[in-house]
Chain A
Amino acid sequence: DQQVKQNSPSLSVQEGRISILNCDYTNSMFDYFLWYKKYPAEGPTFLISISSIKDKNEDGRFTVFLNKSAKHLSLHIVPSQPGDSAVYFCAAQRGSSNTGKLIFGQGTTLQVKP
């Protein structure tokens, strides 16, 4: 049962343009959502997060939008840079779990072309 889904395995964007990565979830009990970036041969690194009580969080070039009614979140990267090329994972947490357990999507590979 895939509770967090990233339906686009890959995305290719021109440098300077906007990258939009999408994520859908099925469990309405999720309280917190996170985006991680992963380069080859490295572990995932935290990028940005959003609480379920908000609908937008911004950090520099990165903005995450949350639409609770649609159970959908998206990560916007503006402007995209070649160094942003990586695998992006969406993850969710439930506050009631008390473990910090992260439930990840399958990932989307972003390629930013110079």
Chain B
Amino acid sequence: DAGVTQSPTHLIKTRGQQVTLRCSPISGHKSVSWYQQVLGQGPQFIFQYYEKEERGRGNFPDRFSARQFPNYSSELNVNALLLGDSALYLCASSLGTGLFTEAFFGQGTRLTVV
């Protein structure tokens, strides 16, 4: 069975540009969460989507947005990129939401903003 897949694996963008990151969850998983991991830090929660609805949002500016499609795949969009947006972006899928629901992570998308 395929795990969580993310694309692209690496990306270089210029300040001010926009970027779209993609995530396909494990088959049967209806929840997708996005995390940002800056070098030397742990992952930080950005969004969670469940059944195509936003269930949670972390402390990130409105430049960050996401959506979930009917097939449960998800996109994370970041507008007006800043140098500080350079990070590893991780997608995690799970069967549902809440406690005791194991989250499975993809390998991440490494975004570099120059």
Contacts and interface: CB of A to CB of B under 8 A. Distances in A.
A67 interface: no
B104 interface: yes
Contact of A98 (B33, B98, B100, B108): B98
Interface stretch (A40-48, A56-64, A76-84): A40-48
Interface of B: 4, 31, 33, 35, 40-45, 48, 55-56, 58, 90, 92, 94, 96-108
A102 B45 contact: yes
A97 B45 CA distance: 12
Contacts of B92: 43
A46 B44 contact: no
A110 interface: no
Contact of B42 (A42, A97, A107): A107
A50 B100 CA distance: 9
Interface string A79-114: 000000000010101010111111111110000000
Contacts of B104: 46
Nearest to B57: A99
A89 B43 contact: yes
A100 B33 contact: yes
5 contacts: A45-B105, A49-B100, A98-B55, A100-B99, A102-B35
B31 A100 contact: yes
Nearest to B105: A43
A55 interface: no
Nearest to A104: B42
Contacts of A97: 56
A99 B98 CA distance: 5
